Amino acid sequence: MTIEDYFEALASILDQAIAAGERYTAWFSAEESDFVRMNRGRVRQPGTVIQRQLRIQLVRGKRHASHSLSLTGTIATDREAISRAIALLRVALPELAEDPHLLLPEVVTSTRVQRDGTLPPSEAIVDEVLGAAKELDLVGLLAAGPLYRGFANSEGQRNWHAATTFNLQWSLYHHADKAVKSGLAGFMWDSAEFARKMAEASERLALVSRPPKALQPGKYRAYLAPQAMEEIAGLLCWGGFSGRALATKQSSLGRMQSGERLDSRVTVAEDTAAGVAPTFQGEGFTRPDRVTLIEAGALVGSLVSPRTAREFGLAANGANGHESPEALSISGGDLPKCDALAALDIGLAIGNLWYLNYSDRPACRMTGMTRFATFWVENGKIVAPVEVLRFDDTLFRLLGSNLEALTAETELLLDAETYGERGLRSVRLPGALVSEMAFTL
- Hey, where are the domains in the chain? 3-208, 218-439
Helices (H), 75-225: 75-92, 122-133, 191-208
Predicted pLDDT of residue 371: 84
What are the backbone dihedrals phi and psi of residue 250, each rounded to the nearest 5 degrees, phi first? -110, 0
Please write the tens of the pLDDT for every residue from 320-339. 999 999 999 999 999 999 99
The answer, yes or no, to whether residue 209 has pLDDT greater than 90, is no
Q: State mean pLDDT over 199-208.
A: 92
Pairing of strands 365-378, 158-175: unpaired
Please write the tens of the pLDDT for every residue from 177-198. 789 999 999 999 999 999 999 9
Predicted pLDDT of residue 88: 97
Q: Which strand (E) or helix (H) includes residue 9?
A: helix 3-17
State how far the Cα of 410 lies from the Cα of 331, in Å rounded to an integer. Answer: 7
Q: State mean pLDDT over 415-422.
A: 89
State how far the Cα of 164 lies from the Cα of 369, in Å rounded to an integer. Answer: 33
Please write the tens of the pLDDT for every residue from 126-181. 999 999 998 899 999 999 999 999 999 999 999 999 999 999 999 999 877 789 99
Report percent pLDDT > 70 for the chain.
100
State how far the Cα of 392 lies from the Cα of 440, in Å rounded to an integer. Answer: 6
Q: Which of 160, 166, 162, 185 is nearest to 115 (CA)?
A: 162
Pairing of strands 218-224, 347-360: parallel
Please write the tens of the pLDDT for every residue from 66-85. 999 999 999 999 999 999 99
State how far the Cα of 404 lies from the Cα of 30, in Å rounded to an integer. Answer: 43
Please write the tens of the pLDDT for every residue from 234-292. 999 999 999 999 999 999 999 999 999 999 999 999 999 999 999 999 999 999 999 99
**C-alpha distances in Å from residue 300, one per residue of 1, 254, 293, 294:** 45, 12, 5, 5
Fold exhibited by the domain 3-208: PmbA/TldD fold (3.30.2290)
Beta bridge partners of 386: 213
**C-alpha distances in Å from residue 384, one per residue of 210, 220, 353, 375, 414:** 6, 15, 18, 6, 30
- The reported pTM is 0.94
Predicted pLDDT of residue 117: 75
The answer, yes or no, to whether residue 432 has pLDDT greater than 80, is yes
Predicted pLDDT of residue 161: 97
State how far the Cα of 353 lies from the Cα of 226, in Å rounded to an integer. Answer: 10
